[in-house]
Structure 1
Amino acid sequence: MKSSSPHGPSADPETRLLTDKLWDAVVRADEYAATELVLGALDGGAPAESVLLDVIAAVQGRVGEEWAANRLSVAQEHAATAINERAVTALSLHDAARTEVTRGRLTVACADGEWHALPARLLAEVLKLRGWKVDYLGAQVPTPHLITHLHRSDADAVALSGSIATRLPTAHAAITACQAVGVPVLAGGAAFGADGRYARLLGANAWAPDARAAADRLAAGPLPRPRPDHQAIDDLPHLADQEYTIVARSRSALVRTVLAGLEEAVPEMRGYSDLQREHTAEDLAHIVDFLATALYLGDGELFVGFIGWTAGILAARGVPARSLSPALGILSDELKDFPRAVDFLARGTDAVSSFHRTTAGKNA
C-alpha cells in the first residue's frame, strides 16, 4: 500500500520510528504486533501521554486520511480503529500509566448518536495520566443517562466529544442539560469546528482543539460552574422558522423523493444494482442530515464544506460526482418554500461546479 508516513515532520526520530511501525501493524491488521509495540515503548521509558497522542492518535488520523483517499476500505478502517483501541487499552493497564489521583473528578462522554469513541478514550486516558479521576462513558451517551450519572458522581466538569457535525443538535441538548444541573462543559472534537465556533455557538463553557489542549485547559483552573437554576439562553433565533425541524423530520421522505428523481435525471442509475442504490440512498441521507444541521446552526458553510468533501470522496472512488448537482436541485425543488434551505443548496451546487472546474484544470 502506497502511503505517506502518519507522523508529523516535527516528531523526534524515536517517535517517528514507533509511529511508522505501528502504522505498518495497523494496516496489516496485526493487533498483537500493535500492542507489543506500544508496551515495548513503555517498557523502554517512552512517556505514556506521548505514545497516546503522538503515536496512536497520529496513526488513527492517518487511517481516516487513507479511507478518504480510497486506499483503505470501510472494513479496513474499522479494523484499524479497533486495533488502535486495543492498543490504548493495553497502554492503560501498563504500570507506566498507573498514576495517583491528585485532582478532581471528570466525566468524559460522546454526545448521543456519536459513535466515534476513540478521541474521547484518548482524552480520558490523558486526563488519568495527569491525575484526574475520570468516568469514561464511551460512545453514544443519551443525555438523560449522562445527567443521571452526573447526579451520582459529583463531577467537576464534563468533557463532551464530537467528531461528526450532524450530532451537534444532540450535543447542544447535552451541553444545556449539564449546565442546568450546575456542571460546566468543555467541548472538543472535529464536530465543533476547527476554531471551536460551534462550541461557542452552542454555549459550551470551554473548547479545546485536541486532547492535550483539553487537559491543559482543565489543569489551568476550574471551569465556571453554572448556577443550579441555569436556563439556556436562546442563541439560535433562526430556529423559529422551523426549517430545521421540518427537514429533519422529513428525512426519509426526502431521500426517497430525490432517489426517484435521480433515476430520471441520471439515466445510468436505472441500471444500478441493489447495493449501488443502497449506497446512493446512504449518500443522500448524509446530504439531508448535513443540510438539517446547517439549518440548526444557521451556518451554510458547514453544508458547503460537506458537499465539497463529498465530491472529493466520490471522485477518489471513481464515482461521477456530477450526480450531486441534480440531487441538490431536486432537493431544492422539494424545499422551495424554505428560503434558508434553498440558499444553502444553491451554495452547495456552486461548490460542486467549482470542484469540477478545479478537477478539470488539474487534468488538462
Structure 2
Amino acid sequence: MPSQEAASTPLPVVITTGEPAGIGPELTLMLAERDALPPHSVAVGDITLLAERAKALGLRVETVACQPGEPLPEGPGVLPVWPVALNAPCLPGVLNPANAAYVIATLALAVRACQNGHAAAITTAPLHKGVIIDGGFASFTGHTEWLRDACGVDEVVMMLATDSALHAQAPGWLGAADLRVALVTTHLPLRAVADAITPERLTRISHILASDLSRQFGIPKPRIAVCGLNPHAGEDGHLGREELEIISPTLEALRAQGLDIRGPYPADTLFTPRHLAEVDAVLAMYHDQGLAVLKYAGFGNAANITLGLPLVRTSVDHGTALDLAGTGKASPASLGVAIRLARRLADQRAATGTTSHL
C-alpha cells in the first residue's frame, strides 16, 4: 500500500524528448538547468544522449534514471528520466531512420504511464514525420493522429493557443487577448482538404472543441467562429460551393443543437482583433489557414493541445530545427509554456468540480 504522502504526490507530467537529432533533448535540458520545469516533471528518452548533449552544451544538469511509479529524484539541475535506449548512434542535426522506432517507443511509454495511473499528462517535444515514415512507419502522419489511435478514440482536434495568462510578457500583436485556433483537418495535402470536410467530420470536430473548451478551459458556453474554406467564404458560391452545401448547413444544425458557433467567415477578415474579441476560439478548415496566423501572433510562446483524448497532451508550436540542434541557440520558451499548460490542465482534471480559465 502506498503511503498517504505518496498517494497525495501529484502524478508527473511526462516530457517525450522527440527527434533525438533535433532540439527537443537540449530544450528539456535547458529548462532543467534553469529550474524552469514545474515540479513533478520527468523526461522520456535515451539517458546517455541527454547526458552527452548536456556536457557538449555546458549545461549543468544531472540526468537521473528512474521508472514509472517510482518517486522522482529532486534538486536543482536534476532531470529525472524514464530511459528508452536509442537504436543507433545520433549526431545533432543528422537524421537517422533507424531511430524512428525509438521515437515511437518514447511516445508509447508515455501513453502507457498515463493509462496505468503513473502520469498525469504528456508534453511532446518535436519529432520529424519524414524520418519516421522513412524508418518503416509508412502510415505515420503526426503526433496528433498517432495519439488518437494509441488511445483508441475516433476523433481528436488539434488546437494551438497563445495565452497571456501564461506569458504576459509577450502577448503578441493581439494585446491581452488569447488566441485559440482549432483545425478541422490537420496533416493533409492541400488538394485533399476539400474532400475531407464533410458534415459528419465538421460536426464531430465542433462538438469536441466546444466540450473541451468547457471541460479543460473552464469556458461555460464557448463561442466559436468558423472559417470558410474558400476565399471570401465562397462569395455566395462564385468561388466554391463548400460553404453553401456543407459548412453553412452543418453550422445551422449545430446551432439548433445548442452550440454557439458562428460563420462561416472569410478567414482573411476573421483573424482581426475586433472579430477575435467576440469569440473564445476559431475553427479553421486546414492547417496553414489557422496556424500561420497564430504563429505570427505568438510563435515561441504558444502551445499545441490535443482535444478529445482521455489524457492531457500538449506540445510545442515549432519543429525539430535541425539547423539549431547542438548549438544551444534554440529557445525553450514554447516547451516551457506547453509543460506548464499540461500541469495546469492535469491539475484541473484532478480537482473535482473545479475549473479555471486558461
TM-score scaled by structure 1? 0.28
By percentage of residues, which structure has more helix?
1
Q: Which has the higher contact order (CA 8 A, sep 6+)?
A: 2
TM-score scaled by structure 2? 0.28
